[in-house]
Structure 1
Amino acid sequence: MIQVAVIGAGAISPAHIQAYLQFPEQCRIVAICDIYPEKARQKADQFQLDAEIYADYSEMLQRSDIDLVSVCTPPYTHAETAIAFLKAGKHVIVEKPMASSLEECDRMNEAAEQSGRMLSVVAQNRFTTPMMKLKRVLDTKLMGPIVHAQVDSYWWRGHCYYDLWWRGTWEKEGGGCTLNHAVHHIDIFQWMNGMPAEITAVMSNTSHDNAEVEDISVAIARYDNGALAQLTSSVVHHGQEQQLIFQGKHARVSAPWKVAASVSKPNGFPEQDEELEARIQQAYDEQPELPYEGHRGQIHDVLNAIEQGSPVLVDGIQGRRTLELITAIYQSASTGQTVKLPLGPDSPFYTREGILQNATYFYEKKTSVENFSDNNITSGGNS
């Protein structure tokens, strides 16, 4: 039986708790920690958990009966918390984004390697049937080389969203919509399409003058083979329509699912390639439905990896790649220069201190609310 502790009892913690409760034969939640212990107690009562309550996670490090820790705290605490538990011999699954900087990611991965413990980064949107089917289709290469990709990570958040004490600052949240909302789609994009060679980006704050960070960014990625991709991250889009489109030389596929293929007429104009569309559709339909999706799917993957000694789908290396793309967007947008990948210690945005010093600050955060009474959150659109 895998014994689990949950660190952070905020808005995302129920997704973890409910996921663990789906697998009572594999795991049991034995502890919940939050700097506001009454929030931890409320979660324990809400889900009828026989769990000890803590206000300081350091008090849990020496508990030999804890095997796995879910880190559900604000991003600026992820590295310190994850590293402490990894060094204490615990497996760790950490919420997105993995950390506030690439330097922190590298220390987290080093701690995982040295401890021999597993580090997984939450990317729950990978664990959906449509995304797994799309990945399967892309792996067939039936579309030919991908020449253009389009990522529309469209969200909408009201002005008061950034009143919460840790949101809207480079120091505490680590960034705006690019880091904390589009991270889902940027993760899927790099998982499916690989890492580009360079990033050129712009960003702005159009609607939230109570936040230092951006509420919209637009980036162009270029690959060594000449392929391009455009990535839009936003919390100013009404309707929250979200999509990923991959245009190959022979066909296009997307989430939400759509397939289209063209061949050339003698005059160069397109006509539908029904045969190729049918082959791609068959590859999509052949991929089975997932038994567990979202956080449930990822936590099931983590529990199985611990029991079987197998790798997880989303490890710390994958988590770092996603943050590397986001960091490149911030560096390009803040400096006005194209950024070459990969990023290492020579990047001015490699460390948290470098980000705080070099990032663009749009507004001064003047309002700070300790807690919202309504903690319901939305976690995705129709993609």
Structure 2
Amino acid sequence: MLQVAIVGTGNISHMHVEGLLTFPNRCRIVALCDIYPEKAVNMKEKYKLEGCEIFDDHHKMLSSGLEIDIVHICTPPYVHAEIAVNSMNAGCNVVVEKPMATCLAECDAMLQAEEKNKVVMACISQNRFRNSIYKLKKVAESELAGRIYSTQVNSYWWRGHSYYDLWWRGTWEKEGGGPTLNHAVHHIDMLNWIKGELPAEVTAMLANVMHDNSEVEDVSFAALRYDDGSVASITSSVVHHGEEQGIELQCENAKISAPWSVKAELCRANGFPVEGGNKELIDQLQKYYEAIPDLDYEGHIGEIDDVLTALENGTRPMITGIDGRKTVELITAIYKAGCCKQFVKLPLEKSDPFYTFEGLLKHVVHFYEKSTSIENISDEVITLGNI
């Protein structure tokens, strides 16, 4: 029975609690920690977590003598690295919410702590555990559609003006960025996972068109080029009505996408497409997709199952700190390209000004200055996407 602590009891932590409670014979929540302890108390009562201890500081929790095998970190991004490193130094395994950290230097410190303490660190990218994404990757790997030559990532979300009233949101120092870091992180991880590599070069444009109570961008557009000549584009947004996220792979023989769709053209002598397309290939791809078995669990439950299985069997989880770092590296390159108005080559070196959080803060664009804020928002209803 693995003993689990959760640090940060805000909105996303409920997905962790519900995921952990799915496996009562494999794990038990023994501690909740929040700088607002009343939120932790409310969570304990809501989920009837008998015997669960409450803490207002993760240092106190780690030094309490309480047996803890795994620490789930569900705090704002700016303290992910500190809590993760302290937890691993205390001998705990770690599951850290997205984004892994605010900069590459913090990611590297976390990876070093994992190696030094011989523990396991997993990074939340729960959309890999959605059937739509899992099956899309399987179809892409089959090569039935051919080589991927162009990818379109649509990370479309909508957040009203009051979203950025919360004290830590909308600030570079506390949130670390806007939707590029905190919303598109899921889709950027998907892109890295499906492509299997980072791009060689990135350029981008950032803007804030709707939220004048936020320093950070509320929309960004990035263009990527890979070593094999393929390209990709990423739109990261909290201004898109409808919240219709998707990832579209244009391949040599067909287009495949999530939400699932397949198109395949045939060429006329004049170069125009044949009406109805390549019906044989479309049918073949559709049958291949439908034959892929569904996952046992989706979303956070699927990833928590994967982490528990890894710890039980002494193996590695699907989504490691290396994966989390790759996502942060591509996001950092987008921010550098957009703020400095340049093409950015990958990988980013340790000498790069954007490698550290201090360097990033010196170079980012403040679209507006956040002048007022509130401590907590009572409404806990959140949206988690359509794929």
Aligned-pair CA distance for 1:265: 2.3
Match of residue 298 from structure 1: 303
Match of residue 46 from structure 2: 46
Match of residue 241 from structure 2: 238
Q: Secondary structure at the match of 1:270?
A: coil
Match of residue 373 from structure 2: 368
Q: Secondary structure at the match of 2:264?
A: strand
The number of residues matched between the two structures is 382
Corresponding letter in the other structure for 1:327: T
Trace 1:71-150 onto structure 2 (pairs within 5 A): 71-150=73-152
Q: Secondary structure at the match of 1:16?
A: helix
Aligned-pair CA distance for 1:201: 0.2
Moved more, 77-86 or 138-147: 138-147
Corresponding letter in the other structure for 2:61: M
RMSD of Structure 2 on Structure 1 (CA):
1.0
1:278 and 2:280 are equivalent in the alignment:
no
Quick one: distance in 1 between partners of 2:202 and 2:221?
A: 10
- State the Cα deviation string for residues 105-164 of structure 1 (Å, max 9, x = none): 011011111111110010011111111111100111111111110001111111111110
Aligned-pair CA distance for 1:64: 5.5
Match of residue 56 from structure 1: 57
1:207–1:215 Cα contact (<8 Å) kept:
yes
1:136–1:283 Cα contact (<8 Å) kept:
no
Quick one: distance in 2 between partners of 1:375 and 1:67?
A: 28
Aligned-pair CA distance for 1:273: 1.3
Corresponding letter in the other structure for 2:319: V
1:154 and 2:156 are equivalent in the alignment:
yes
Quick one: distance in 2 between partners of 1:97 and 1:201?
A: 20
Quick one: distance in 1 between partners of 2:77 and 2:234?
A: 22
TM-score (norm 1): 0.98
Structure 2, unpaired ranges of 5+? none
1:325 and 2:327 are equivalent in the alignment:
no
Corresponding letter in the other structure for 1:353: E
Quick one: distance in 1 between partners of 2:117 and 2:279?
A: 53
1:19–1:296 Cα contact (<8 Å) kept:
yes
Q: 1:70 aligns with which of 69, 72, 95?
A: 72
Trace 1:186-335 onto structure 2 (pairs within 5 A): 186-193=188-195, 194-271=197-274, 272-335=277-340
Q: 2:384 aligns with which of 359, 367, 379?
A: 379
1:216–1:236 Cα contact (<8 Å) kept:
yes
Q: Secondary structure at the match of 2:311?
A: helix
Quick one: distance in 1 between partners of 2:200 and 2:292?
A: 31
Q: Secondary structure at the match of 1:83?
A: helix
1:101–1:352 Cα contact (<8 Å) kept:
yes
Q: Secondary structure at the match of 1:311?
A: coil
In the TM superposition, structure 1's runs of 4+ consecutive aligned residues that sit over 4 Å from their partners are none
Quick one: distance in 2 between partners of 1:128 and 1:323?
A: 21
Corresponding letter in the other structure for 2:56: A
Aligned-pair CA distance for 1:340: 0.3
Identity over the aligned pairs, expressed in percent? 54
Aligned-pair CA distance for 1:290: 1.2
Q: 1:343 aligns with which of 341, 345, 348?
A: 348
Q: Secondary structure at the match of 2:38?
A: helix
Q: Secondary structure at the match of 1:150?
A: strand
Moved more, 275-284 or 249-258: 275-284
Quick one: distance in 2 between partners of 1:99 and 1:177?
A: 15
Q: Secondary structure at the match of 2:266?
A: strand
Quick one: distance in 2 between partners of 1:266 and 1:371?
A: 63
1:2–1:68 Cα contact (<8 Å) kept:
yes
Corresponding letter in the other structure for 2:205: V
1:83–1:111 Cα contact (<8 Å) kept:
yes
Quick one: distance in 2 between partners of 1:230 and 1:331?
A: 16
Q: Secondary structure at the match of 2:265?
A: strand
Aligned-pair CA distance for 1:267: 2.4
- State the Cα deviation string for residues 241-283 of structure 1 (Å, max 9, x = none): 1110000011110001001112222222223112222222222
Quick one: distance in 2 between partners of 1:182 and 1:363?
A: 21
Q: Secondary structure at the match of 2:290?
A: helix
Structure 1, unpaired ranges of 5+? none
Match of residue 37 from structure 2: 37
Corresponding letter in the other structure for 2:110: M
Aligned-pair CA distance for 1:190: 1.0
Corresponding letter in the other structure for 2:378: S
